[in-house]
Amino acid sequence: MTKNLKISLGLIAVALAVVAALLAANRSSDATSASEKTGTEGKAASASVLVRPDSHRLSTAKDGKVTVVEFLDLECESCRAAFPHVERLRKEYNGRVTFVMRYFPIPSHRNAELAARAVEAAAAQGKLEAMYTKMYETQEEWGDQQVSHEKTFRGFARDLGLDMTKFEKDWKAPATAARVEKDRKDGLALGVQGTPTFFINGKRPQIASYDDFKAAIDAELAK
């Protein structure tokens, strides 16, 4: 064997070794990526994150077959537009579908977090739905403004006949702010970026209309 042939064979062997190493690395990388992707998807679909033990259930189905979770911002115009559709669906599927409300105040909305805390404080006196509804019915009066509407929300509490001393205490309590923030963080962990965001049995369907919403629920009920 000539010296040149030995060198050529040696270079080929090195090249083959490099290719083999690269292929092995790519297979390892692909496996890691797939594992990471599966883990992320599993987390996004986690029922324990979507609905916490203290999450507010607006309606409850005894069989627990279908659960609709909404991450909402009380100052969001799109959430207000979706509100009547949600209420209509709650009536139509009463006893058959669980509807859960989760807070997701957008930081750029001056009064969103304050409104969420007001609803939470009202919930402590059994008036969650009344305050939640009041916020949407009056949103045009206080939403999309860069001034605090603390006085406005305090007036809502009076209108609902709440114990104002308790309301004020609960409204300003760090635990109430933490409760709202916990919902928001769960939303972020689930990939929520805007409001309203709906999950139906852990899936996030494309909803452009009431009919889309109804069809998505019916599909889950039919399973």
Question: Domain residue spans in the chain?
Answer: 1-44, 49-221
Answer whether residue 1 shows pLDDT above 80: no
Which residues are 200's β-sheet partners? 68, 203
Question: Positive or negative CA dihedral for 109, 111, 114, 119?
Answer: negative
What is the token pair recorded at 155?
Answer: 């007036």
Of 191, 185, 215, which is closest to residue 204 (Cα–Cα)? 191
> What percentage of the chain carries pLDDT values higher than 90?
78
Taking the C-alpha atoms of residue 103 and residue 164, their distance in angstroms, rounded to an integer, is 23
What is the mean predicted confidence (pLDDT) over 178-189?
A: 97
Answer whether residue 7 shows pLDDT above 90: no
Identity at 186, one-letter amino acid code:
D
Q: What is the pLDDT of residue 28?
A: 34
> What is the CATH code of the structural domain delimited by 49-221?
3.40.30.10
pLDDT, tens digit (0-9, with 9 covering 90-100), for 45-59: 488 999 999 999 999
Taking the C-alpha atoms of residue 138 and residue 80, their distance in angstroms, rounded to an integer, is 10
| pTM for the predicted model, two decimal places | 0.79
Q: What is the pLDDT of residue 46?
A: 84
